[in-house]
Structure 1
């Protein structure tokens, strides 16, 4: 079995929907859980997996008109591109819509690149699609948005660096360490249980030579820091943040190319169930993506929300805060019991802001 993309020029799917009985406030649900069952209806191809791109468009957009606003949702096949590619596409589309010359044809530079270790087509060690397609359905989860101001993150970063006697720990590494410790504490695991914090990390600038800024595709990996629960919770934020920092620094060109070679030799098809219940906190997405700069001429978006993809216990997705300036919003997925414990965690409450869009 081989994997490749052969476009048939049938285009993307666009859906216009009316939901005049739903308000923006209903969608935002300030200070309460994300109304995920409602929001899922705004996204096309709910519950689809990447392999469905054989029969479904690789891109679908739904514009839902609410009572006092609009909700623009986009479903993008992850086999085609990663988060960097997605937001490059969305911002380019928005720029074209804002431009006075949008009636003309604008050339959008897109580069493709293949490592020598993985020239297409890629052969998979499967004879039938049923061997690797998993339509994962997570157990009932609470989803909630939490806001972290730039001032709170600066203090957290300073604390992490001071504790470890360094200046190299970043704000996001500090925030990831906080979530790792707080979620593990909320799970109430035994001290000897091994746990991990995984981060989705981009490869573009780490490759030698670096990829073109116009590269359109997937260039991401997952890095991980592991520790026993007792060790993780007995040490401060600086200890956990430094463990994450070391994992980031170790992700070099040699490591990236080695991972690709290993995957080509023994391909693995990932699915949402592989991490759920594995005592793992996964930090996904990125506050560096220019999400609020994606403006179609209607004004700045009031908030960001995501669909059902990759939602499982311990998944944390990061977004830039609405006010900018280095602020961050986190979308956290946890069981009811664990979310209740997180909301009452003193260390978490000392950093998080209560007001969020």
Structure 2
């Protein structure tokens, strides 16, 4: 039986109130038969999504100003009935889209094949006055397949929540196609564990100096910085096989760093973070052109769920976004052909997190006058000296079955051509056959240098058209 909480529109936890008011944009390529019926595919997607909205009320909502909130800038969820959560675009006609599905599949789905302005219903950052639906999807039909784009508003969800949303949508699509039997009900704890962290405990001061990973600005910004909304940014997919991944992790070990440390290991994610950080800095700041000794701030998104007291279920719904912010001299980082130094700096930052993190950060967020004044520290100069990393490693969509009419499985997880956010890179879900993929984001003019980076090429292979 479905949880009674599944019918309720949730109130926001402090991490959501101050969450980033931007959209995470996914591209999911799905192969269809040459003679597919686009109208029937769209009917299944739309009806399945309506079923998912019944089971997860957040999906049926939009963000609107919470006029009763004590802080300025806070949103709340409100149901709507006058907006199409999914729309369709027919790009099958000759010249409507430059590639067939077979073309992009043969090239392993490079993001340059996915123009965001054409395929997505919206940009990453909303314009003032624009409506803020939690989900804004578009079914793009091309010869041989479907490019399903999903824009999810980050305030109300993160990668783990997106997985539950997509898992439920896929199940409802199968049922539209005739699957019977009991539904795979969403466990009640996914909804109810949010109640443990609606307010800070009072155990922590939550002062800005306790959280260098975020900034509380002394003013309310009028909008996103121009560099963050520029289209002069690209994402580039890189693939690491199991052998390359093992080599990277071994090379990133603290024993290979230039300075001694108490840390004896780095995680695979630390090593991947270090590779992305160094690669972005090398592409944007050739050592021979670097002026002075600037410091780079690297905001890495972390899942707050394991950093809670009392603990919450690992798949509790909502947005539990936290950050760490390792910092390093760009000159020092680039002076060695090694990932060991940045990997150690990342490990040192991550290791400081404890189960008190969410409570302390919530205390800080609840204390600000206007939640729009809270930004990740790196955001003040991206793309630039700083950069940002997120992870979709837990977005297990490769295992989801969408039913035969919808081609069964998603074949890749991608962002649009401009990347995830300007100045941002990410870890993609582990590949079904082993190995892992990354999307590294740089300014367009820096892409040639990124593709020629010898250290990056040692560990990863670029996926290009």
1:229 to 327, 330, 339: 330
SS of residue in 2 equivalent to 1:5: strand
Q: Which residue of 1 aligns with 2:344?
A: 242
Q: 1:279 to 1:117 in 2, by over 3 A?
A: same
Alignment pair present for 1:311 and 2:421: yes
Q: Where do 1:316-335 residues align within 5 Å?
A: 316-325=425-434, 327-335=435-443
Long gaps (5+) in structure 1: 120-124
SS of residue in 2 equivalent to 1:253: coil
Shift of 1:106: 6.2
Provide the C-alpha distance between the structure 1 equivalents of 2:429 and 2:248, rounded to a whole number of angstroms: 17
Q: Which residue of 2 aligns with 1:84?
A: 160
Residue by residue over 1:209-237, the C-alpha shift from the partner in whole angstroms, topping out at 9 and shown as x without a partner, is 32124421111112111111222233532
Q: 1:134 to 1:336 in 2, by over 3 A?
A: closer
Shift of 1:259: 2.0
* Conserved 8 A contact 2:160-2:315: no
Q: Which residue of 1 aligns with 2:237?
A: 145
Provide the C-alpha distance between the structure 2 equivalents of 1:107 and 1:32, rounded to a whole number of angstroms: 33
Shift of 1:256: 3.0
Shift of 1:90: 0.7
Q: 1:204 to 1:331 in 2, by over 3 A?
A: same
2:398 to 267, 279, 292: 292
* Conserved 8 A contact 2:91-2:142: yes
Aligned residues: 347
TM-score, scaled relative to structure 1: 0.83
* Conserved 8 A contact 1:87-1:291: yes
Q: Which residue of 2 aligns with 1:351?
A: 459
Long gaps (5+) in structure 2: 1-66, 203-215
* Conserved 8 A contact 1:12-1:59: no
Q: Which residue of 2 aligns with 1:40?
A: 117
Q: Which residue of 2 aligns with 1:156?
A: 248
Provide the C-alpha distance between the structure 1 equivalents of 2:455 and 2:127, rounded to a whole number of angstroms: 38
Answer with 1 or 2: which has the greater Rg.
2
Provide the C-alpha distance between the structure 2 equivalents of 1:172 and 1:115, rounded to a whole number of angstroms: 30
Provide the C-alpha distance between the structure 2 equivalents of 1:16 and 1:104, rounded to a whole number of angstroms: 30
Provide the C-alpha distance between the structure 1 equivalents of 2:180 and 2:169, rounded to a whole number of angstroms: 10
Shift of 1:287: 2.1
SS of residue in 2 equivalent to 1:62: strand
Alignment pair present for 1:117 and 2:219: no
Provide the C-alpha distance between the structure 2 equivalents of 1:86 and 1:303, rounded to a whole number of angstroms: 16
CA RMSD in angstroms comes to 3.4
SS of residue in 2 equivalent to 1:179: helix
SS of residue in 2 equivalent to 1:199: strand
* Conserved 8 A contact 1:202-1:220: yes
Q: Which residue of 1 aligns with 2:79?
A: 8
Shift of 1:240: 1.5
Provide the C-alpha distance between the structure 1 equivalents of 2:135 and 2:429, rounded to a whole number of angstroms: 24
Residue by residue over 1:273-309, the C-alpha shift from the partner in whole angstroms, topping out at 9 and shown as x without a partner, is 6342441121113323213223312233222222468
Which of 199-208 and 230-239 deviates more? 230-239
TM-score, scaled relative to structure 2: 0.65
1:171 to 257, 268, 272: 268
SS of residue in 2 equivalent to 1:322: coil
Q: Which residue of 2 aligns with 1:183?
A: 280
Q: 1:82 to 1:337 in 2, by over 3 A?
A: same
Provide the C-alpha distance between the structure 1 equivalents of 2:125 and 2:272, rounded to a whole number of angstroms: 31
* Conserved 8 A contact 1:31-1:354: no
Provide the C-alpha distance between the structure 1 equivalents of 2:322 and 2:106, rounded to a whole number of angstroms: 33
Provide the C-alpha distance between the structure 2 equivalents of 1:5 and 1:303, rounded to a whole number of angstroms: 33
Provide the C-alpha distance between the structure 2 equivalents of 1:56 and 1:31, rounded to a whole number of angstroms: 32
Q: Which residue of 2 aligns with 1:49?
A: 126
Residue by residue over 1:142-189, the C-alpha shift from the partner in whole angstroms, topping out at 9 and shown as x without a partner, is 322111112101111112224258653111211211222222122223
Shift of 1:50: 9.1
Shift of 1:139: 4.8
Q: Which residue of 2 aligns with 1:122?
A: none
Provide the C-alpha distance between the structure 1 equivalents of 2:84 and 2:139, rounded to a whole number of angstroms: 14
Provide the C-alpha distance between the structure 1 equivalents of 2:110 and 2:419, rounded to a whole number of angstroms: 17
Alignment pair present for 1:108 and 2:181: no
Shift of 1:194: 0.7
